[in-house]
Amino acid sequence: MPISEPATMLTDYALALLGGFFAISLYFRSPERKMRLWIAAFSVIAFASLAGGTAHGFRILLGESREFVWKITVFSIAVGAALLIVAGIRSAMNPETLDGYARRIGYRWLKRAVVISLVGLAVLVLKLSPHPCFNQNDLYHVIQMGGLYCLYRGAMLLEGINNLLSRPERKKAV
């Protein structure tokens, strides 16, 4: 079976796994289910990445239906991005944590996510491709994995699930 864009497909699928992992992790770490918006956002991003990887990787096999899969991908990306933005704003404006230090660290993680996402956007717009077999889409996916991680960390801290603070960070908080 011919694969059209193997690196893009693999990085998309890796992004899907990461988004899915974050959604599942938040689901099980939040007994009150206060993380629903974050869970939905990471889930939709995982779905978008799965659809995108399929559209990129199986272009030939999909034939005419590739356009439909691509429309689903683009729509899912838009919904996922909107959910991430809303979840981030909600957590930043109304954090659940009472720990001031965890709140400050959570804000930093969200700021890092924005910066990383802007770097990823610049890679796409400028079509920065480090290698012919690893194009700007592939690099963008890898960069966005870092952005998703930062969002995950920020969400955990701002929503009061601050067991992600490492021991040195906890000592500073005391």
**What is the average pLDDT across 93-114?**
92
Q: In 3-state terms, what secondary structure has residue 131? A: strand
Q: What is the pLDDT of residue 168?
A: 52
Q: Name the pLDDT band for 174 (thresholds 50, 70, 90).
A: very low
Residues 91, 154 contacting (CB under 8 angstroms): yes
Q: Where are the domains of the chain?
A: 6-173
Q: What is the pLDDT of residue 164?
A: 55
Q: What is the pLDDT of residue 162?
A: 63
pTM for the full predicted model: 0.90
The CA distance from 28 to 24, in Å, is 6
